[in-house]
């Protein structure tokens, strides 16, 4: 939808989090469906913070599971 859910800067790496609230999430399907969106977020954040390490992934709220999708060193 073009709105980044959360961006965390721990001083070393930027983490893009896309929350998914499905009650019974299928992580592989969600990754397939949202990979392009996360790639767009990663590219946009990379332009704002050049040279920074960035990772992007899904946080499945029903299972409290972090699923990394993309990473740029």
Residue 1 has pLDDT above 80, yes or no: no
Taking all residues of the chain, what is their mean pLDDT, rounded to a whole number? Answer: 95
What does the pLDDT average to over 35-49? 96
**DSSP string covering the chain:** -----EEEE-SSEEEEEEEE--SS--HHHHHHHHHHHHHHHHHHHHHHSTT-EEEEEEEETTTTEEEEEEEE-
Question: What does the chain come to in residues?
Answer: 73
What's the confidence (pLDDT) of residue 64? 96
The torsion defined by the Cα of 61, 65, 66 and 68, in degrees rounded to 10, comes to: -120
* pLDDT per residue as tens digits for the range 7-39: 999 999 999 999 999 999 999 999 999 999 999
């Amino acid at each position: 939808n073009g709105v980044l859910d959360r961006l965390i800067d721990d001083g070393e790496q930027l983490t893009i989090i896309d929350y998914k609230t499905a009650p019974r999430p299928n992580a592989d399907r969600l990754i397939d469906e949202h990979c392009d969106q996360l790639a767009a977020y990663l590219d946009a954040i990379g332009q704002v913070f050049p040279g920074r390490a960035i990772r992007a992934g899904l946080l499945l709220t029903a299972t409290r599971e972090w699923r990394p999708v993309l990473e740029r060193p």
